[in-house]
Every structure is written in structure tokens, then in C-alpha cells.
Copies of this chain bind each other. A is one copy, B any other.
Amino acid sequence: MAQPGFLRARRPEHKQQRRAAILEAARELALQSGVRNVSLGGVAAAVGIAKSNVVRYFGTREEIYLELTAEAWRDWEQAVTERLADADGPDDVIAALVETLEARPLFCDLLSHVSTSLEHNVSVPAARAFKLVVLEVIAELGARVTEAHPALAGDEGFELAAAASGLAGMLYPAANPPPTLVELYAQDPVIAAACVPFAPTMTRVLAAIAAGLPTLR
């Protein structure tokens, strides 16, 4: 990433620009190497500023990624809402959830790290801002899912949308294994065959949940 044409951001628009540059660099690095492999130093180097300068904008590496996760939640909400407008029947609703997640590997990678890592090293205000976005998005999406799915009522759409995001965070890292497992799978086809594929597994589990929830009323 090119270094911006100023060394220290003093004017508000420069501060905003630098903040955006930090988020953009963190996003690019995570897409290349995975969220878990990006350090604050790596982000600083990519932006071309000192680590001590990055922490004027974000207290920790985790705060950067929590903000990117909040952005990704809003982006996912918009994508699902658009898909649901054309949804015709229960399979379309499940497909809207699964395919929009499959198309967003960075969101899924981020989801896999939220509760085990990203929420651990942030300030209380940063955690609050993040939680408020998630609650708002899931509530909104849940209402849309209940409207679109003929068998669901009340909070069941919320439960299905929450399950979709949770499953995505759980399945993504297993379906995108690290080099050690890639090597193991190449050596051992039986173990490789047991590696769960992302979209088919998501589709089957969400279809089962959507079919089962109304029976629990």
C-alpha cells in the first residue's frame, strides 16, 4: 500500500484517511494470510507508519479486526436482504444465507475468531460498539428470514440467522485447513474425506434446523 502524502495526520480528513488506510491494510493482509497470522506490526508496515502511530487510531490489533467484523456484519445483512427479496420457498432462504456467507471468506474467518480471540483484547467501548452492531443486524436479518421462510414464525428466523453465522465461524476454519492438515490430507485420503465441505454442510444443518424449529413450538 502506498504511503499517504503526509507523515502525521493532523487535520480531521487526514485522520479519517489514515484510519481507513489502516482498516484497508488489515483487510488485505487477512485476505492474504488469514486473520490469525496478521500482527499489529504487519499492519503498521503495510500502511507505512510506526506501530505507535497505529495505536492512536486503534488500541490493539483486535480492535482493528473487531471493527472490520462489524463492517462485514452490515455488508452481510445487506447481501442477505437483497437475496431474500427474490426468495421463493424455504430452499431459497437457506441458499440466501449459505451462498452469501460462502462468498465472504474474510467475514467467515473473522467470525471464527470473534469469541475466542478478537473480543479478548479490546476496550469496553470497542466491545460495546461491536456488540450493538451484531445485535441490530441479527435482529433485522432474523425478522427478514421469518418473513421469507413459509414455515418459520416469531423468533425462529432470528435463531436460523444466528445459527448460520455461528456455523460459518465453526465450519470455515475446518474447511480451509492450515498447511499441516493440507499435507496430512494429501497423504491420507480417508482422513481427507472426513474434512467437511463448507456450503453443503451449512445447507444441510440449516435445513434441518429450519425444519425442526416449528416442531418445538
Contact = CB atoms under 8 A, between A and B. Distances in A.
A124 B191 contact: no
B119 A116 contact: no
Contact of A112 (B116, B120, B135, B212): B116
What number of copies of this chain does the assembly contain? 2
A209 B119 CA distance: 29
Contacts of A167: 166, 170
Nearest to A192: B131
A131 B211 CA distance: 31
A208 B213 contact: yes
Given A123-B180, A167-B170, A169-B170, 17 more contacts: A36-B116, A36-B117, A112-B115, A115-B174, A119-B180, A120-B178, A124-B183, A124-B184, A128-B191, A131-B194, A132-B191, A135-B191, A170-B170, A207-B216, A208-B208, A211-B211, A211-B212
A131 to B, nearest CB: 5
Interface of A: 36, 112-113, 115-117, 119-120, 122-124, 127-128, 131-132, 135, 159, 163, 166-167, 169-171, 173-174, 177-178, 180-181, 183-184, 187-188, 191, 194, 204-205, 207-213, 215-216
Contact of A194 (B135, B174, B183, B216): B135
